[in-house]
A and B are shown apart, each in its own frame.
Chain A
Amino acid sequence: MTAYHRPRDLDEALALRAAQPGWMVLAGGTDLMVNANHQPVPDGIIDLWRLAELGFVRISDQAIAIGAGTTWHEVERHAAIRERLAPLAAAAREIGALQIQARGTLGGNVGTSSPVGDSLPVLLALDAELEVASVRGRRRVPYHAWCTGYRTTQLAPDELIVAAHLPVPGATTRTTWRKIGTRRAQSISKVMGAAAITLDGDVVVEARVALGAVAERPIRIAAVEAAVRGLRLGEAGEAARLALRAAIRPIDDVRSTASYRREVAENLVARFFAVS
């Protein structure tokens, strides 16, 4: 029989995690419970759903910290996130639909680390940092170094994800998030991406461009970021399209084809740099 524990606080959760690194760490269940009756039965469950220390949004001048247990519904409704981290709120609105947004959490998306995790390109584009904890202490990991491969991350077997720290983009930085799937809600993305583009007038000073569903993990496209630097919007779009062509190798699968993904990803990236 599966063991089940709902820790009262983070310390208890971390002690349990250290003692039972093989147990499932469960929050809203929107990934881990998919097809549950056809999955291996876990030896034990550490239930973090609504653990108070993981459910917070803390706002400072330069950054917003979001607890790992925050649901997409809470992200989407939070006034400061909507205003200052618009692409994250936009992603939250299109993750699944009402039922998924009520249960799915930021920490879950980061922990599952699916190549189609809808919030993950946003974390890359906004240069987020993750905070993880264990009985050994806390550490911060730049999100761009978090994903190590297909659904694998830097998380150690005794660690839990505590929060994401997102720097708030400055006034001259424009940010976007866009997802392409078979329908607006509920569909798993064929391609999605996010960008943070810092402008001087209409000249690109610096850009962070991230895509999901085009590789084994969400990735920043360094070639695009380099190609657009110093260009004007519009011409930067074409440069981005060309740079992307050589940079990604999307796959054929049940949801789409490599050639469709490639074309859509090129259009998406070009559009990030369109004249507004």
Chain B
Amino acid sequence: MRLALEVNGEPRTVEVSPWKRLLDVLREDLRLTGTKEGCGEGECGACTVVLDGEAVNSCLVAIGQCEARKITTVEGLANGEVLHAVQRALVACGGAQCGICTPGIAVCAAHVVDRGLLAGCDADTARARVRTLLAGNICRCTGYQLIVDAVIAAAREVAPA
């Protein structure tokens, strides 16, 4: 089927089976290979994108469901050459190692920060809250501490406490 959708602010059209996964359409048809496949089962979060304002696993979305929807991938986080606050914080804090989970973490964390999901948390509750909100993004390298540091730093920069 022929579908029109909006990816990272740009209108795109694809001709695909409605059963094809959003993840595969992004990577194969639109050549946006920043989004990674980890498990293909909705367990790891590596393929996280924002779909109509919600962070979702793109491996679990059939493209047929995406007609006229708005999608943000990791490629859409930066504003031109200026990285998103979460991307800068991940770099500054060292919140990445092998990198396979990083695009999903960046997208999910940017969603958390941009939506103000840490608003009203003090320093202690913010750490626990970040862990809960990012629990669907599995990282086998970092041990999460530096990722949590980065998300909190970015949240503070976007909306100072």
Contacts and interface: CB of A to CB of B under 8 A. Distances in A.
Interface of A: 1-4, 6, 26, 28-30, 33-38, 41-42, 45, 47, 49, 73, 96-100, 102-103, 183-186
Interface string B20-52: 010010000000000000001111010010000
A100 B136 contact: yes
Contacts of B108: 98-99
A61 to B, nearest CB: 33
Nearest to B54: A102
A177 B56 CA distance: 26
A184 B132 CA distance: 9
Interface of B: 1, 17-19, 21, 24, 40-43, 45, 48, 54-57, 59-62, 64-65, 67, 108, 132-138
What is the interface of chain A mostly: helix, strand, loop, or mixed? loop
Contact of A98 (B41, B55, B64, B138): B55
A99 B48 contact: yes
Contacts of A33: 21, 42, 59-62
B135 A186 contact: yes
A35 B136 contact: no
A22 to B, nearest CB: 14
A100 B95 CA distance: 24
Contact of B136 (A1, A34, A42, A97): A97
Contacts, number: 99
5 contacts: A6-B64, A45-B64, A73-B54, A99-B42, A99-B57
Given A30-B57, A37-B24, A103-B57, 6 more contacts: A33-B62, A45-B64, A100-B42, A100-B136, A184-B135, A185-B136
Contacts of B45: 97, 99
A97 B45 CA distance: 9
Contacts of A98: 55, 108, 133-136
Nearest to A3: B18
B93 to A, nearest CB: 21
B124 to A, nearest CB: 18
Contacts of B55: 98-99, 102
